[in-house]
């Protein structure tokens, strides 16, 4: 039996809705305020939430933002208000609400909206395979639910990505069975022939790898492509290493495209935020490397797995794949030890030695300082996935000074600079 959570501070409205919904065969839980709604969601995820906007402790829009930021917006949410405005309705929809009801809510309108919301959840999400290569923990389970809900509602998907986090795995998953995906590696095609891209991918998926590099004309083409995707039965997935709000503030994103994508943002979580997946992923990637290289397989010791689990993984799954390939080529017959893993990750297994300082004693102070700064910034950039904003924050510098330092010290950044 489908379950609906009704969140409203007015007892009369809660009771009336419960009577109506239970008569229609739904199981109903109730919460009188924001705190009770949080507790109810912690206890069990309902199939649908009817959420009042104006409540004494916390408003419904704040709760919606909170659930979205926590990756918990995996069920349709219908907002309700007796003091609503068009702006409030639009804002709630942009944040991920399924629909908006203005009080007093008619019996017919309530049931119609509930049915549509339930149908969006029940609609089969036609996907290919699963996301096991990203992991099998709770975080990936929630990611799967969020993706399924998004595509069942017929929305585009905006993947908030991190370097090497595995967006290609998500793209394969979201590509309908027996269909093909088109990676838009040349952004110019978006400006020149968006309709042609839809025609080429009819019934399949179009993937735009990096929203942040698109020009205004390319963004207009992408907006048109998203608007017409239904005519061709095409799913649209767009990845962005930066939040939409930042791009919009810096005038690097058109308002129209922002409005198309803001209600369908799905974060692809970095590896360090789901350490419970790392041991299984490491074993899987290592086994793949042995098969690929036609080498007899070897395992990892418990201490080696512990080292991998505790590492920061700035390069995410791409870094894990590269490490697995290197470990597979290590000579030996028994399980791979932690010392080998630490050496490859650049983790010093012993207390820091003053040897590096000793080597600098032959240098003038300025050259020694430059050598230290270069080594420090290279290590910090790598740890932050070469993201300039994050590195600047960690180093206590503003971004302009960091760019100047990187150029002055001759630090090579892989590919284009990341924000």
In a domain, residue 416? The reply is no
Q: Return the CATH number at 315.
A: 1.10.8.60
Grade residue 415 by pLDDT with cuts at 50, 70 and 90.
very low
> Mean pLDDT across the stretch 75-100?
78
- For the chain, give the longest Cα–Cα distance: 85
Residue 232 belongs to a domain with what CATH number?
3.40.50.300
pLDDT at 216: 94
Give the count of domains, the chain: 4
Residue 390 has pLDDT above 90, yes or no: no
Residues 221 and 163 placed together within one structural domain of the fold: yes
Return the DSSP state at 203. T
Q: Which residue has the higher pLDDT, 88 or 205?
A: 205
Q: What is the pTM of this model?
A: 0.59
What are the pLDDT digits (tens) for 325-381?
Answer: 999 999 888 999 999 999 988 875 433 333 344 444 555 666 667 766 777 787 777
What is residue 386's predicted lDDT score, i.e. its pLDDT? Answer: 78
Burial-class residue 136 by CB neighbours within 10 Å (0-12, 13-18, 19+): middle
Residue 157: CB atoms within 10 Å: 22
The yes-or-no verdict on residue 418 having pLDDT over 60 is no
Residues 185 and 261 in one domain: yes
Return the structure tokens found at 149.
């809900």
Section 65-82 average pLDDT: 83
Question: What confidence tens digit (pLDDT) does each residue in 96-128 have?
Answer: 788 888 888 899 999 999 998 887 665 555 788
- pLDDT tens per residue across span 239-270: 999 999 999 999 999 999 998 898 889 999 99
CB 319 within 8 A of CB 164: yes
Per-residue DSSP letters for 218-234?
HHHHHHHHHHTHHHHT-
How much is the average pLDDT of 187-191? Answer: 92
In a domain, 129, yes or no: no
- Measure CA 246 to chain center: 16
Whole-number Å distance between alpha carbons of 230 and 374:
51
Task: Determine the average pLDDT of the residues in 142-169.
Answer: 89
Other C-beta atoms within 10 Å of 415: how many?
7
Dihedral of CA 370/375/381/383: which sign?
negative
Domain contains 133: no
In this structure, the answer to whether residues 115 and 199 fall within a common structural domain is no
> Looking at residue 250, what is its pLDDT?
93
Evaluate whether residue 155 is within a structural domain: yes
Helices 34-43 & 60-69 angle (0-180, nearest 10): 30
pLDDT at 219: 95
Rg (CA), the chain: 25
Same domain, 39 and 111: yes
Could you say which of 66, 91, 122 is where a domain stops? 122
Q: Name which of 110-114, 141-145, 301-305, 414-418 the model is least confident about.
A: 414-418
What pLDDT is attached to residue 154? 77
Q: Are residues 230 and 158 in the same domain?
A: yes
pLDDT at 349 (0 to 100): 41
Residues comprising the chain, all counted? 419
Kindly give, in sequence order, each residue whose CB lies less than 8 Å from that of residue 399, ignoring residues fewer than 6 positions away. Answer: 388, 389, 392
Residue 118: phi and psi, rounded to 5, are: -65, -40
**Which range marks the domain in which residue 360 is found?**
355-408
């Amino acid at each position: 039996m489908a379950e609906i959570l009704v969140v409203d501070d007015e007892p009369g409205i809660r009771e009336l809705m419960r009577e109506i919904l239970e008569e229609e065969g739904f199981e109903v839980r109730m919460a009188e305020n924001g705190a009770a709604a949080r507790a109810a969601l912690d206890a069990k995820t309902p199939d649908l939430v009817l959420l009042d906007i104006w409540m004494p402790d916390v408003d419904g829009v704040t709760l919606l933002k909170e659930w979205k930021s926590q990756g918990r917006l995996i069920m349709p949410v219908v907002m309700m208000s007796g003091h609503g405005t068009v702006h409030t309705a639009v804002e709630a929809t942009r944040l991920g609400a399924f629909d908006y009801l203005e009080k007093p809510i008619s019996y017919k309108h309530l049931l119609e909206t509930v049915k549509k919301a339930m149908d969006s959840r029940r609609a089969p999400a036609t996907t290919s395979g699963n996301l096991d290569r990203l992991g099998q923990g709770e975080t990936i389970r929630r990611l799967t639910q969020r993706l399924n809900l998004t595509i069942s509602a017929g929305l585009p998907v905006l993947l908030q990505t991190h370097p090497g986090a595995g967006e290609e795995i998500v793209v394969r998953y979201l590509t309908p069975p027996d269909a093909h995906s088109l990676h838009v590696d040349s952004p110019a095609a978006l400006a020149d022939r968006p309709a042609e891209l839809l025609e080429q991918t009819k019934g399949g998926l179009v993937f735009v790898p990096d929203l942040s590099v698109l020009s205004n004309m390319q963004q207009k083409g992408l907006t048109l492509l998203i608007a017409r995707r239904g005519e061709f039965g095409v799913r649209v997935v767009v990845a962005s290493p930066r939040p939409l709000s930042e791009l919009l503030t810096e005038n690097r994103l058109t308002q129209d495209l922002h409005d198309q994508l803001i209600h369908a943002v799905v974060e692809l979580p970095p590896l360090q935020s789901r350490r419970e997946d790392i041991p299984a992923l490491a074993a899987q990637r290592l086994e793949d490397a042995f098969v690929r290289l036609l080498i007899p397989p070897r395992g990892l010791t418990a201490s080696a797995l512990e080292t991998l689990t505790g590492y920061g993984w700035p390069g995410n799954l791409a870094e894990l794949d590269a490490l697995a390939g290197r470990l597979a080529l290590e000579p030996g017959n028994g399980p791979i030890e932690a010392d080998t893993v630490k050496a490859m990750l650049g983790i010093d297994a012993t207390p820091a030695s003053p040897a590096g300082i000793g080597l600098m004693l032959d240098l003038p102070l300025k050259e020694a300082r430059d050598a230290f700064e270069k080594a420090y910034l290279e290590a910090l950039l790598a740890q932050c996935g070469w993201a300039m904003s994050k590195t600047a924050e960690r180093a206590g510098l503003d971004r302009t000074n960091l760019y100047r330092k990187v150029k002055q010290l001759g630090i090579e950044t892989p590919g284009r600079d990341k924000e």
